[in-house]
Amino acid sequence: MKPTVCIVEDNDQLREALVELLNSEFEITALENGTRLMGYLEIKLPDLILLDIMLPFPLDGFTILRLLKNNELLSAIPVILMSAINSEDKITEGLELGANDYVVKPFKSTNLFLKIKNQISLHKGKEAAIEKSKLQKANHFIESPSNGFKKKFDAIMDEISDNTNISIEEISAKMLMSVSTFERWMKKIYGTSPRKYILSYKLSKAEIMLRQNLGSVKDIAYLLGFNSVSYFCSSFKEKYGKSPLNYIKN
Pick 131 or 68 by higher pLDDT: 68
The number of angstroms, rounded, from the C-alpha of 22 to the middle of its chain's C-alpha atoms is 34
Q: What is the CATH number of domain 156-249?
A: 1.10.10.60
Q: Which residues have a Cβ under 8 Å from the Cβ of 183 and sit 6 or more positions away?
A: 168, 193, 194
Strand segments, DSSP code E, in the chain are: 4-8, 27-31, 48-52, 79-83, 101-104
Higher-pLDDT residue of 71 and 135 is 71
Count of other CB atoms within 10 angstroms of residue 3: 17
The class level of CATH for 4-131 reads alpha beta
DSSP H helical ranges for 42-108: 61-69, 88-96
Closest CA to 113 of 8, 184, 23: 23
Q: What angle do CA 185, 189, 194 make, to 5 degrees?
A: 60
Going from N- to C-terminal start, the domains of the chain cover: 4-131, 156-249
Instruction: Write out pLDDT tens, residues 212-237.
Output: 888 888 888 888 888 888 988 999 89
Cis bond upstream, residue 58 (ω within 30): yes
Which of 44-58, 119-133, 163-177 comes out lowest in average pLDDT?
163-177
pTM of this prediction exceeds 0.85: no
Residues 6 or more apart whose CB falls under 8 angstroms from that of 245 comprise 217
| Side chain identity, residue 233 | C
pLDDT value at position 54?
93
